[in-house]
Amino acid sequence: MVNRMKIIMLGAPGAGKGTQAKMIADKYQIPHISTGDIFRANIKNGTELGKEAKTYMDKGELVPDELTVRILLDRVAQPDCEKGYVLDGFPRTIPQAEVLDQELTKRNEKIDYAINVEVPDENIVRRMSGRRACVSCGATYHLVHIPPKKEGLCDKCGTELILRDDDKEETVKNRLGVYHDQTQPLIEYYSNKGVLQSVDGTIDMMDVFKGITDILGE
Ligand code: ADP
Ligand code: ADP
Ligand code: ZN
């Protein structure tokens, strides 16, 4: 068993980061940490943090770094993160990556793998309009590619699935623009650190996962 595996998922919104991150978390027994899931849980529970995050998320903009970084650092300081974790949707900007690196350096640690899931923009809008999400347990499905066993209901917990507000076409286009401007530069950032690995995200999800486990090891 690999010790202290710290993994970052990179890729456009809808590339399949969450889908793969959940499988990685299961296989390697490390926590799956999604800043988007943390924000959505806060929105659902009506917290102050949720209210603030929602104003940005609804427009397809990024939640400010200061707020996002604080939440993420709190989360990775929890005891279950000692053996590693897979980050899904964080970092999304160079400053976020820099703060994470500084924190890790203090503890003599580093990111071991940054996995870039590559899917061209043309495929993204189609993927997002078919995405259905469970706000209760965070599971995601696709109407065509990864349908739930019972139409409209989560396989894992039975909750009714929804189309996320920010998965509507106009917002998705905005999110893609934000991705190219602010998040894509992270590919070079992690490439320069020698930890970047890219996989083709357009193929069947199990084949994408095979590519990832080839990288991470058995
Ligand atoms: P997706 O999986 O489709 O890329 P996420 O669930 O990761 O979407 O994120 C949804 C929204 O939450 C983003 O559009 C953004 O507004 C906010 N968000 C999530 N993670 C971050 C982050 N690291 N920095 C800033 N905003 C974030
Ligand atoms: P991200 O976390 O990068 O935003 P998701 O994992 O939520 O992306 O996937 C986006 C949508 O695409 C979901 O509806 C998901 O079920 C679907 N999906 C994920 N991986 C694949 C794949 N390899 N082929 C087809 N559809 C996929
Ligand atoms: Zn569920």
Residues 138-147 have pLDDT tens digits of 999 999 999 9
Q: How confident is the model at residue 1 (pLDDT cuts 50, 70, 90)?
A: very low
**Within its chain, how far is the Cα of 36 from the centroid?**
7
Q: How confident is the model at residue 218 (pLDDT cuts 50, 70, 90)?
A: confident
Distance 36 CA to ligand 1 centre (A): 5
Which uninterrupted H or E stretch holds 48?
helix 48-57
Report which ligand 1 atom has the smallest distance to the Cα of 167: 3
Cα–Cα distances (Å) from 52 to 39, 47, 65, 168, 182, in that order, read 9, 9, 13, 21, 20
Residues with C-beta less than 6 Å from any ligand 1 atom: 13-14, 17-18, 34-36, 39, 56-57, 60-63, 68, 89-92, 96, 166, 175
Domain ranges (residues) in the chain: 6-31+78-209
Q: Are 93 and 182 in contact (CB under 8 A)?
A: yes
Backbone φ, ψ for residue 206 (5° rounding): -70, -30
Pick from 24, 20, 25: nearest CA to 119 = 20
Report which ligand 2 atom has the smallest distance to the Cα of 130: 14
> Domain 6-31+78-209 maps to which CATH number in 3.30.70.1060, 3.30.540.10, 3.40.50.300, 3.30.2290.10?
3.40.50.300
Distance 43 CA to ligand 1 centre (A): 13
Cα–Cα distances (Å) from 192 to 105, 114, 115, 198, in that order, read 16, 11, 14, 14
Q: How confident is the model at residue 204 (pLDDT cuts 50, 70, 90)?
A: very high
* pTM, entire model: 0.95
Is residue 29 pLDDT above 90, yes or no?
yes
Residues 110-123 have pLDDT tens digits of 999 999 999 999 99
Q: What string of DSSP letters covers 125-183?
A: HHHHHHEEE-TTT--EEETTTB--SSTTB-TTT-PBPB--GGGSHHHHHHHHHHIIIII
Residues 53-87 have pLDDT tens digits of 999 999 999 999 999 999 999 999 999 999 899 99
Q: What is the pLDDT of residue 19?
A: 97
Q: Mean per-residue pLDDT for 181-197?
A: 98
Is residue 171 pLDDT above 90, yes or no?
yes
- Average confidence score pLDDT of the chain: 95
* 17 flagged as catalytic: yes
* 175 flagged as catalytic: yes
Q: How confident is the model at residue 128 (pLDDT cuts 50, 70, 90)?
A: very high
Q: How confident is the model at residue 4 (pLDDT cuts 50, 70, 90)?
A: confident
The count of other CB atoms within 10 Å of the CB of residue 149 is 8
Residues with C-beta less than 6 Å from any ligand 2 atom: 11, 13-19, 127, 130-131, 140-142, 145-146, 204-205, 208
Q: Which percentage of the chain shows pLDDT scores above 90?
A: 92
Q: Mean per-residue pLDDT for 181-188?
A: 98
Q: Which of 54, 126, 164, 173 is catalytic?
A: 164
